[in-house]
Chain A
Amino acid sequence: MMFGAIFVPDFLLQAAGRADAGLRNRPMVLIDGHGPNFHVVATNRLAAHLGVRLGMTKAAAAEFAGVELIARHKDLETSAHDALLDAAWSFSPKVEDTAVDTVLLDLAGLATLFGSCENLALQIKSRCRALGLDVHVAISANPETARILACAKPGPTLVPDGTEASVLKPLAVDLLAPSEELLGVFRQWGIATCGALAALPVLSLSEGVGQEGVRLHSIAGGQGQRALLLAEHRNIFEESLELDDAVEELEPLSFLLGRLLDQLCARLSARALAIRSIQLQLELLTAFEKAFDTRRELLRKRPVSETFECSLALPRPVQDPKLLLKLLRLRLQSNPPKAPIQKLRMRAEPDRPVALQSGLFLPTAPDPDKLELTLARLSSIAGESNVGFPELLGSHRPDAMRMQKFLVSSVVPSNHKKTDDSKIGFRVIRPPWPANVTLQDGRPVQITFRGQTWKVVQASGPWRSSGEWWEENPWKEDAWDLELRSAGGKSPAAAVYCTVFDALQQKWFVRGSYD
C-alpha cells in the first residue's frame, strides 16, 4: 500500500500568479485586509530577500522598489485548489482533500498504468505544472509521512518502507501541523524536531498534552498510518481573474480570456471532459458618483460594481481553447461591455467529449429571451441610460433623477387610494426652454420663450438653491413661479410657469408649467 502527497508551496502566491507565469520570476507579495489594515500575507523568496516581511503594512511593502504588490483574491485560491484536485483525480479516484494546498492520493494499483513510483511522481509534477502549479510530491507507505515529506522537500521523495522514522527525525516539528497552542508548548519545551518529539515518553506526554500530543508523537515516529477521507468528485470548473488595472479594449480582454480558457481546458482534459457551455461574467468598474444611490437601504453600502454577463452554449462539447476564444470574441464584439472590466469569471459546464466528429462545427446562435432582446434593441437605439423608469433622487438639485432598469415586482399592488390631495400638477420640460426675462426691482415682469412674449401677472420667488459645490459642476439657481398672460391677443391666454435663472450660466430657462 503506497500513498502519495502533493503539496503546493507558497499556495497563496501560486494561486495569484497561476495565470501569469512571468510573475513567478519577480519579487511578489500578496496583500490582504480591509481599510487601513492592508498587510502582507505572503511573499516569494525574491521579495523576502529584499526585506519584505509577513504582516508588514501595504504602505511599508510599497516602499521596496521593484516589488510587485498583488491583492489577494479568494476566487483565485478556490480555482487553484480545484485545479489541484483535478490533477490528483486524473491519477487516482481515491483522493483526500487534506488542506487547501495539500492532497493525498491512494496509489494502490496504479503501477500498471503509470509504471514505477518514481515515474508516477514525475508525471504528477508534470501534470500539475500544466495546470499552472509547481508542486512537491512524496510517496510513502503511510499517508502522514508522505504529507510531511511533501511539505518539507521539493521531491519527488520516495520513502522506503520501514525508514519513515529516520527520514522524519531531523524535520521540524511544525510540519506535523500541531495546533497553535501545542506548537507553543513544544517551543517552550525546546522540542524542535520530529525526532525530539518521538523521543518523549508517550505516557507522560499523554498526561500533559492529551491525545493530540500522542497522535503527533506517533506520526513523528513514522507511524502515521490511517485511512484517507475521500473527497467527493466535483464538476465545478470555474476560473477567475481580478485585475489591478481595469481593461477597456477588446484586444487585451481577449488575451485574458485566452488564459482562462487555457486553464479551464487543461483542467477538463485532465479529467477527460470537454466544455458544453460557458458562462462569462465580467465585473465592470463604475465611477463612485454613478453608482451612488440615495435610497435609504443602499446608503451605507459601497458602490457596487455592475456586472456584464454573457453565455455561450455549444452544440457539442469542445476542448479547443482557441476555438472557444474566437466564439467569445464574436459575442463580445456584437455586445461589448460598457465600462472597463475589473474582474472576469468564467464557468464551464462539463460534458463527456464526443468521440466522433460529425460534420463542420458551427457556433449555434444563442436563443435569448424575447424581452431581453427587445430591451437590448431599445437600448442600442435610445442608449442604456434612457431605458427603464425614472426615479427621483433625494437631492436638492431640481429635477435630480435617474433611470432605473425595468424590474418585475414580486409585490402585488394594493388597492389603496391615492392619498396625495395636491391639486396642482407640474409638467417638467426636458430640456428646459431658454427664455428672456425682463426684470423690474429684481422681479420678473415680462418673459419671452419659444417666440412668444408673456406679461408676468404675479411672481412668487425667488426660490434659491445651490449645491454640489464639491463637484466640478455645481449648481446655483433662483426659481420663480410666474403667472403669465400673453402680451398680445384679444382674450389673452393664461398660464403658470416655473422659470429659473441659472446663476452660473447667467441664463433664464423655463423649467415647467403648472396645470
Chain B
Amino acid sequence: MYVELHARSAFSFLEGGSVPEELAGGCATHGMRSMALLDRDGLYGSPRFHLAMKKLGLQAHIGAEITCAEGGRLALLAGSREGYQNLCRLVTRMKLRSQKGQGAIQLSEAAECNGGLICLSGGDEGWFAHVLERDGVKPAAQCLSQLSAAFGQDNLYVELQRHFRRDQECRNQVAVELARQLHLPLLATNGVCYAAPEQRQILDVFSCLRNHRVLANAGKLLSTNSERYLKTPAQMAALFADLPEAIANTCELSSRLSYTMKDLGYQFPVYRTPDGESQMEFLRARASEGALHRYGSHNEKANRQIQKELALIEKLQLAGYFLIVWDIVRFCREKNILVQGRGSAANSAVCYSLGITAVDPVGMDLLFERFLSEERGEWPDIDLDLPSGEQRERAIQYVYERFGKLGAAMCANVITYRGKSAAREIGKVLSFDPETLDRLSCLVGAWEYTDSNDTLTRQFRDAGLDLKQHRIWKFFELCQKIQDLPRHLGQHSGGMVICQGQLDSIVPLEPATMPGRVVVQWDKEDCADMGIIKVDLLGLGMMAVLEDTLRLIRDHHHEEIDIGSLPPDDPAVYSALQQADTIGLFQVESRAQMSCLPRLRPKYFYDIVVQVAIIRPGPIVGKMVHPYLNRRLGREPIETLHPSLESTLARTLGVPLFQEQLLRMAMIAAGFTGGEAEELRRAFGFKRSEARMKDVEIKLRRGMDLKGITGETQDKIIHSITSFALYGFPESHAASFALLAYASGYLKHHYLAAFTAAMLNNQPMGFYNPATLIKDAQRHGLRFKPIDVMRSHWDCTLEEDTDGFRVRVGLRYVKGLRKETGIAIAEQRERWPWVSIDDLKQRVPQIHIDELRVLAAIGALNFISKDKTFHRRDALWQVESASRNVGPLIAAHIGKNKQTESEPASPLKAMTPKERVFADFHGTGLTVGPHPLAQYRQQLAKQGIAPVSRLKQMPDGKAVSVVGAVIVRQRPGTAKGFVFLSLEDETGVANVIITPQLFEQDHRVVVHHSFLRIQGRLQNQDGVVSVKARQIEPFHLADAEVASHDFH
C-alpha cells in the first residue's frame, strides 16, 4: 500500500491546481486510507482538507512546506498535537516578522520547535534539492546531516519523487546513496500539485501569474510534463519497483502521524469575575439585573425564557462566551460607542437582558433554538454592529488589548477567482492584447444584470473572437476551471477569533495589510468548522449616524435618547413609512423598498421587520413578494404550500420570508434533523460552490418523497428554499435591522436637523448623495445655512434660530479642501474672527490658493466683509491678490494694512443665480439654494411638464412628461434587465421604469446625462407612483452636473 504524504492544494496560492476537496476525493477514489497536505508557508487549506477527508472516512495528515532562510523549503508533517502547535508557531513567527507574502525561518529556529515534527527532504523545491543543484553532493550530504540533527535521525525521511525527468533521477540516485550512507529511511512521494493530469494547465497558468510572465515566454518556468497528479498506489508501486522500501515507508510514516485536526486544543477564554464567583453565577446576576431593567419585575414569560436559556448556557458551559461579549458591549457603552447585536443573538432573551441586543425576543416570539441548540453542538454566533470608522476600531483594539496579541486575531477572507478577475488573468497569460481584455472585462458584469444569453460565448462573439480557435477555446476552458480557486488571502470585515492564551498554536497568524492587525490563516467558515469561536464586530454607517444624532440632540436639545427605549408606535414614523417618505432611513430607503412600502403599509413594528426582509434577492427570486402583499391587501386567499407547514408560515400569511421558516420547512417537510437544517443554513450563505446547494436539494427531495410531498408542491417548496441561496434574512436579523430602521425614522421625524447633520457627516453611505438628502430635508421644512468660514466647522453643525434649528453645512463639503486646513480654519476663527481674506491667509498659512479659490467661489468668504454687497466674485478677486505675498515695502506703498481691513470691492460683476448654482455644485456637489430645476419651472410648465409632486394626484395610465436630475440609476440582478431611475426635481423624487429594449436603444442617454426628460405612462397603483418611460431625452441644463449613485 501507498500513502501520498506530500501534496499541495490551491491554498498554496498559485502553486497548486486543485482545492483540498478534490484531493480528498482523489484519495478516496484511489483507495488510499490517508494523505498529507503540505501547503506553502501555511495551513490555509488544512481545515477544508481535514473536513473533506473526515467526511469520506479518511485520515488527513497535516503539514506545511516552510520557506527556509538557507534556501529552498522544509517539508514538515505534524506527528502529534505538539508537532501541530510547533508548526503553527513556526509559521506565525515567520509571518509576523516579515512583509505580507514573504518570510523564512532559520533551520535553528525549526530545531528549537522540533517536537512532534517529521521532516521530509522535499522535492524540487526542497532545501536538499536546492543545495545539491547549487553546491554539489558533499554539501547536500551535510544538508541531510543538519536536518537529521535538527529533527532527529528518526524524524527525517529522504524523499524520492519520479516525474520522468533526467535531472530528478540524478538527484534521486544521489539521495538514495546518501540515505544509505547516513542510515536514513527513503520515502516515495509524488509531490502532488493537482488531483488530475489535466489540471497541470491550471498550474502552468498560475506559474505565469506568480512570475508575471505569459505562457508564450514563461519557458522553463512551466511544468515539464503532467506527472504531478495524485497517482494510484499501484502506479506509485510500479514507479518505485526498484525501491520497495520507499513505498513501504509511506505506510509506516502514516501510522506514526497520529495527529488529526479534530484535536486542535482550542479553548475559549475564561472571563475573570471580580469577586471570584463562578462565571455562571456572575452571568445569572448580570442577566437578572438586565431583565429587571428590560422587562420589569412581573414578566413571568420573560423570566421563564431567561431561566430556560441560562440553564442551557450552563449545560453547554457557554457562560464565559456570553460574559466576554457582554464585556465588549460594556466597554462600548462606557466609551459612548453605540453598539447593537444582530443576527441570531437577537433570538435570545439573555442577550436582550445583557444589553447585547435591542430586540425583545419574548415580545416578538422569536425562536431561541435558532440561536443556541444542544443538538447542534456549536458555538453561538453573536454579531455586534458598531459605528463604522474610528469607533469600531476602538472596539477592535480593546479586544486585542484584552486578549493579547496572540489571543485575538481577525478572520481571513479567502479571495477566489470569479468571472471578471478570472477572465482578466487568463487573458493576460494567453497574451490577449490589452484592448481585447479590456473590452471583455467591460462586458463581464458591467451591470449587475446579465440576461440568459450573456454568457462567455456571447461575450467572445461581441468582442469579435471565435471560440473555435484553439487559444480562444483554452481561454474559455481555463476561465471556468479556475473559478472559485483561491487567489489570495484578505481580511474579513469584522470577524475576530479569540482564544484562551496562545492562538498561534491553534492556527498560524499573519500580518494584515492594515497596520496593527493580525489575521488567522482561515476564513470564518473554516474557523466555525474547526470550532473556533468568533465575534463579529461589524461597522455600520447608520450606527455612526445614530450615535452622532444622539450627541447632537444631547448638545442642542438637551435631551437624552435611548435607542432601545423609543416609543414603539410613533404614528408619525408609520405615516412616513406608509407614504414611502423614507429618504435617509436605514434599510427602507431604496427605490425597491419605497415602491413596496405603500402596499405593505406598515402599522406595527413587525411589519417593519417583514418590510426589511421582503425586499431581498431571496424572497424576490423566490416570487414571495407579490403573494405576501396581495394576501395582506386581501386580494388573494391565505394558502400554505402544504398543510403541515401552516403553523410555521402563519405569521407571514403562508409565505416563507425568513431563514428560520425555511429551516423549519425543511425539518417538517423533508424530515431534516437540526444538524441537517444547520447545514442547509450554512449552504445559504456559502459562496464557495453551488455543488453544496445541489447536494442539499437532492436531500430535500428525498426527504419530501418519503413524507409523500411530491409533484408541484415539492417543486414549490424546493424553489422557496433554494432561492434563499441568493440571500434572505433571518427573522432575528431583520428585527435588529428593523429596530435601526425605526430608530432612524423616529429621529428623522422628531429631530430632523440633528439627524440630517449626522447623515451629512457620515457620507458616503446609504442610497442617496448629500445633495438629495439636503433637498429632501428642505422639503420637510429644514433650513440650511451655506458654508461660511465665519461659522462653519469641519462637520455640519446645528445653529438655533428663532424658528428652530438649522443645519450649517460643514467645511468637509468643500471639494479639494484638506481636512487639516478645514480644522485649522475653524480653530483659528474661534480665537479671533477673520477680518479679511488676507487675515485668513496669514493665520492659516497652509491654505493653498486652490482651496481659497473654491471657498470664494462657493460664497464661503462673503461674510468676512462687513460690506453687505460683497459678493463671491469680490472674494475671488481678493483671493488672487491675497495669494501673492508682497513685501512690506510694496504693501506700504500701495497703502494697505492687510491684517485689519478688508479690501475695496472688485471691478467684477456678481454671479447670476445660475452661475451660483453651478459654482455650488462644482465646489461642493450640492446647493442649499433652490434646486437647479426651480428656475426652469415656468418654462417646463409651458411645455406641459408636471412637477414630480403632482404625479400622485394623477390617474393611473395617464401620459406624462417629467424632467429631473438623475440621482440613482439601478439595474438589479433580479429585475430581468429593467432599469430604474430616481429623478429629482424641486418638488420631490419620481421613479422611472425603463424597459430593457428602451434601455438598449437609449443606453447612452440614460447613462451619460445628468438631467433627463422622460415621457411615458403613469403607473399609480396602491399609492405607488412611477413613470414607465416611452421616450428618453437629455435635458440640457448647462449650469449643474448632479452626481448620481449608480448601482450596477
A residues with a Cβ closer than 8 A to B are 34-36, 38, 51, 58-60, 63, 184-185, 188-191, 199-201, 204, 207-210, 288-289, 292-294, 299, 393-396, 461-467, 469-472, 478
Contact = CB atoms under 8 A, between A and B. Distances in A.
B222 A467 contact: yes
Smallest CB-CB A-B distances: 6 pairs:
A208-B880, A394-B219, A464-B164, A36-B438, A35-B434, A208-B881
Interface in B880-903: 880-881, 884, 886, 894
Contact of B909 (A190, A288, A299, A466): A190
Interface of B: 163-166, 201, 204, 213, 215-217, 219-220, 222-227, 430-431, 434-435, 437-439, 442, 470-471, 474, 853, 856-857, 873, 876-877, 880-881, 884, 886, 894, 906-909, 911, 915, 919, 1004
A201 B219 contact: no
B127 to A, nearest CB: 24
A208 B435 contact: no
A472 B474 CA distance: 10
Contacts of A199: 907
Given A463-B166, A466-B224, 20 more contacts: A34-B434, A36-B437, A51-B1004, A59-B439, A184-B853, A185-B876, A185-B880, A188-B919, A190-B908, A190-B911, A201-B907, A204-B907, A207-B884, A207-B886, A207-B894, A208-B884, A393-B219, A470-B201, A470-B430, A471-B470
B922 to A, nearest CB: 10
Contacts of B220: 394-396
Contact of B213 (A63, A299, A469): A299
Contacts of A210: 884
A165 B858 CA distance: 33
A505 B684 CA distance: 50
Contacts of B226: 466
A463 B164 contact: yes
Contacts of B430: 470
B64 to A, nearest CB: 29
B217 A294 contact: yes
B720 to A, nearest CB: 41
A229 to B, nearest CB: 28
B791 to A, nearest CB: 23
Given A189-B877, A190-B911, A396 B853 contact: no
A54 to B, nearest CB: 14
7 contacts: A35-B438, A36-B435, A36-B438, A208-B881, A394-B219, A396-B224, A467-B223
Contact of B431 (A288, A294, A462): A288
Nearest to A293: B217
A23 to B, nearest CB: 22
A59 to B, nearest CB: 6
B914 to A, nearest CB: 12
A465 B219 contact: no
B225 A464 contact: yes
A440 to B, nearest CB: 15
Contacts of B894: 207
A35 B431 CA distance: 13
Nearest to A294: B219
Contacts of A34: 434
Contacts of B471: 470-471
Contacts of B204: 469
B225 A465 contact: yes
A288 B216 contact: yes
Contacts of B911: 190
B1000 to A, nearest CB: 12
A190 B216 contact: no
A200 B165 CA distance: 85
A294 B431 CA distance: 15
A59 B442 contact: yes
A394 B224 CA distance: 12
A465 B201 CA distance: 14
Most chain B CB neighbours (cut-off 10 Å) among A207, A210, A461, A470: A470
Contacts of A288: 216, 431
Given A209-B880, A478-B164, A63 B227 contact: no
Nearest to B878: A208
Contact of B873 (A35, A189, A472): A189
Contacts of B853: 184-185, 188
A327 B494 CA distance: 76
Nearest to A53: B1008
B225 to A, nearest CB: 5
A149 B571 CA distance: 70
A472 B439 CA distance: 25
B435 A465 contact: no
B470 A188 contact: no
B908 A189 contact: yes
Given A188-B857, A204-B907, A470 B215 contact: yes
B908 A469 contact: no
Contact of B217 (A204, A299, A462): A299
B227 A464 contact: yes
Contacts of B434: 34-36
A465 B164 CA distance: 8
Contacts of A51: 1004
Contacts of B163: 464
Nearest to A200: B907
Given A294-B219, A394-B219, A38 B431 contact: no
Contacts of B886: 207
Contacts of A469: 201, 204, 474
A189 B872 CA distance: 9
A472 B894 CA distance: 82
Given A190-B915, A293-B217, A294-B219, A472 B907 contact: no
Contacts of B919: 188
Contacts of B439: 59
A396 B470 CA distance: 21
A472 B470 contact: yes
A394 to B, nearest CB: 4
A418 B880 CA distance: 75
A282 B166 CA distance: 46
A59 B217 contact: no
B326 to A, nearest CB: 51
Contacts of B1004: 51, 60, 63
Nearest to B430: A470
Contacts of B165: 463-464
Contacts of A190: 873, 908-909, 911, 915
B442 to A, nearest CB: 6
Contacts of B877: 189, 204, 208
A201 B903 CA distance: 15
Contacts of B213: 299
B607 to A, nearest CB: 45
A187 to B, nearest CB: 10
A290 to B, nearest CB: 10
Nearest to B470: A472
A207 B201 CA distance: 70
A360 B856 CA distance: 79
Contacts of B223: 396, 467
A462 B881 contact: no
A395 B225 CA distance: 12
A51 B907 CA distance: 39
A199 B907 CA distance: 9
